[in-house]
Chain A
Amino acid sequence: MDKKEQHLFDNPKNVKRLLNGFYVICLILFLLDFVIHRHVYHRWENLWGFYPIYGFVGCVILVFVATWMRTFLMRSEDYYQTVNKNKLKTAHQQNQPSGGDENVDA
């Protein structure tokens, strides 16, 4: 682990550049809506910025709802294991996720 080694996104400037480029592309895509003539299949597609707004709002709602779902769905990591704890204690406890495919034949 060489701490001096610098990687692409260790430099905050590069992250900034990437994000700025991304914002510019988003803006261009939004403006293209007014330039390119669409072949429209559905009346909602006529609305300016339908797809960008739908994508953005849809994802924000998705994340908010999912975060809210955590309040009643989230349990501890070994939630299902606790039932069988007594049974498993006698056996060897192997609940840690391991590499999983040790070469057993070798």
Chain B
Amino acid sequence: MWMLEIPPFVPFFLCGFLAAITRGKLRAVIMLAIPVLSGIHLWMMPEGEFLHFNFLGFELMPYRVDKLSLMFGYVFHIAALMAIIYSLHVRDTVQQVASVLYAGSALGAVFAGDLLTLFIFWELLAFTSVFLVFARRSDRAYAAGMRYLIIQVLSGVILLAGAIFYAGSEGTLLFDYIGLNGVAGWLIFIAFGIKCAFPFFHNWLTDAYPEATVTGTVFLSAFTTKVAVYSFARAYPGTDLLIYIGATMACFPIFFAVIENDLRRVLAYSLINQVGFMVVGIGIGTALAINGAVSHAFNDIIFKGLLFMSMGAVLYMTGRINGSDLGGLYKTMPKTTILCIVGAASISAFPLFSGFVSKSMVMSAALETNHDWVWLMLLFASAGVFHHAGIKIPYFAFFAHDSGIRASDPPLNMTLAMTMAAALCVAIGVYPAALYSLLPFDTGYNPYDATHVLAQTQLLFFSALAFVWLNLMKLYPPELPSTNLDVEWTYRRAFPWVWSKIVLISSTVYQLVARDLLSKIGKGFNYLARKNDDRLSGLLSRDHPAGSMVLWVVVILAAYLILSLFH
């Protein structure tokens, strides 16, 4: 059958354009139809490289389809469709257009076969998604969005610099295995790392995601970090450094998540924790580990989307999202409660839920390659993620003390989107073979043997027991309205403080110099000039600018001389 090879970003960008010029029901129909049609088109797409052309002597390949990119392509379509259904009630052109353009940019990035195309979509991801933060239309959101944009664009600029170095050293721009060799390898690694929320670069995520709109956060959680995970899987599989970075990412955010009050920020921290598992998998680099990383990215998009949707529903219906303000919502929001618990069970990797079938692959791979300490860290992170995302989120929102809020379940479209996500979580958990058949490698892995199931269930139930015990002993830290300092403190508090001090000191010094010293020098010159009957000023020039011009000519010539010496 002859088929047009349309890169998936094209229908999404078209959808963005159509959404901008239509209104109401027509817009809803277009926004629902295009991801579905594009998804069907992608499903029928054979593997291969399409669209080649030359640009300044470099071969560009904007559309490359292989198992790795297809996996992300499928899940991005699913995520886009669910998030669009979730946001059907929104009547905000900026948000709706930005969200489909954002999804399209993510699809463009994962099917990009060369670094230049990747760079373009990398930056488009930043510029389209930031409107989902701005759309909250508050001062806080605006400031958070600007910080997000600066960091994301910085990542893109570093990627471009890396790509230029890469083209210089390798003579090609094709996007394949890069590895940590030379300047290019490191620059691209850092660019990916920033978007992947590596430790010390992670605060853009915990800063901006909770400030975005209810529906915007659902889109945000799906794409940006997963594009970075895909890029690492493509360019840096088997890089040892990633194992240790990933293990750190899996562990440190859970401490912050336990004491964080804003429940969507708790989820943002747990997003970093889940990405940590993927990064470890890519770092190990065996077939099983890469499979684990990719399938965990696939599942994470769905269950993290579900959790963000359920917390979005709480925020939408109650106007509150702080754990200290919520509680007892199960009474009037039973559907949201159950769907949230399904998401919580999935992220905690309970057997029969989706997280289990993918996370266990990464853990097994860590053991097989004798990374004992990494395995222990991941085990701790698994217990920890259950603690903060699996129990804390549902417990403080829907149970705990009764806050007296009596909000009802959210509108039908939101419930429907959450139900779809929950159904997928359970379906993948019960029948993982469907997911495994899409994976890049065939490893014949079976997660459901007695050893795995028992070990994981024991780990989780005793983590829960710890929560119960701590709660009964009143040792569990209560939810408090607060801000917790993180790395962002350096650029939100320390740098501005230091900068303001520098400005203050230098302006004071300048004033002193200008007012006292310069006036004294001026007086001195005036005195000399008067004494010499104005002959002195005529030596260089009667006008001041001409005199200073001579000085600058001297400076330039001197610089030229020095440069020529080094040549």
Contact = CB atoms under 8 A, between A and B. Distances in A.
Contacts of B330: 7-9
B383 A55 contact: yes
B214 A73 contact: no
A12 interface: no
B177 interface: no
Contact of A70 (B399, B477, B493): B477
A101 B135 contact: yes
Interface stretch (B225-233, B462-470, B554-562): B462-470
A80 B493 contact: yes
A91 to B, nearest CB: 6
Interface in A73-100: 73-81, 83-84, 88, 91, 93-95, 97-100
Interface stretch (B193-201, B312-320, B544-552): B312-320
A100 B535 CA distance: 73
B140 A55 contact: no
Nearest to B477: A67
B318 to A, nearest CB: 9
Given A22-B464, A42-B372, A29 B458 contact: yes
Contacts of A95: 138-140
B91 A105 contact: yes
B259 A98 contact: no
A91 B212 CA distance: 20
A106 B459 CA distance: 50
B270 interface: no
B335 interface: no
11 contacts: A1-B404, A22-B465, A38-B454, A39-B449, A55-B458, A56-B465, A62-B383, A66-B255, A67-B477, A75-B485, A100-B212
A63 B259 CA distance: 9
Given A83-B493, A88-B139, A45 B455 contact: yes
B156 interface: no
A42 B320 CA distance: 46
A76 to B, nearest CB: 7
Contact of B492 (A40, A56, A62, A80): A80
B95 interface: yes
B480 interface: yes
Contacts of B94: 104
A53 B455 CA distance: 11
Contact of A63 (B140, B321, B466): B466
B483 A77 contact: yes
Interface string B162-201: 0000000000000000000000000000000000000000
Contacts of A105: 23, 91-93
A60 B470 contact: yes
B234 interface: no
A58 B493 contact: no
B483 A58 contact: no
A12 to B, nearest CB: 13
A73 B484 contact: yes
B138 A98 contact: yes
A93 B94 CA distance: 23
B465 A26 contact: yes
Contacts of B466: 55-60, 63
A55 B462 contact: yes
Contacts of B136: 98, 100-101
Given A39-B449, A103-B90, A103-B91, A54 B482 contact: no
A7 B121 CA distance: 50
B484 A52 contact: no
A52 B406 contact: no
When A and B form their complex, which 9 residue pairs have the shortest distance between CB atoms, in order from nearest? A59-B466, A55-B462, A66-B258, A105-B91, A103-B91, A51-B458, A55-B459, A52-B462, A101-B213
Nearest to B320: A97
Nearest to A61: B380
B369 to A, nearest CB: 11
A23 B136 CA distance: 44
A9 B485 CA distance: 36
B215 interface: yes
A75 B483 contact: yes
A56 B458 CA distance: 10
B379 interface: yes
A69 B255 contact: yes
A89 to B, nearest CB: 11
Given A42-B372, A63-B258, A99 B214 contact: yes
Interface string A1-28: 1000101110000000001001101100
B367 A58 contact: no
Contacts of B468: 19, 22
Contacts of A52: 458-459, 461-462
B132 to A, nearest CB: 10
Interface string B379-396: 110011001000000000
Contacts of B506: none
B258 to A, nearest CB: 4
A81 B144 CA distance: 11
Interface string B352-374: 00000000000010011000100
A32 B139 contact: no
Contacts of A103: 89-92
Given A51-B459, A54-B379, 4 more contacts: A56-B466, A63-B475, A84-B143, A97-B320
Nearest to A51: B458
Contact of A54 (B383, B461, B464): B383
Contacts of B367: 41-42
A101 B368 contact: no
B72 interface: no
Interface in B475-489: 475-477, 480-486
Given A59-B467, A70-B259, A76-B483, A91 B139 contact: yes
A48 B135 CA distance: 54
Contacts of B380: 54, 58, 62
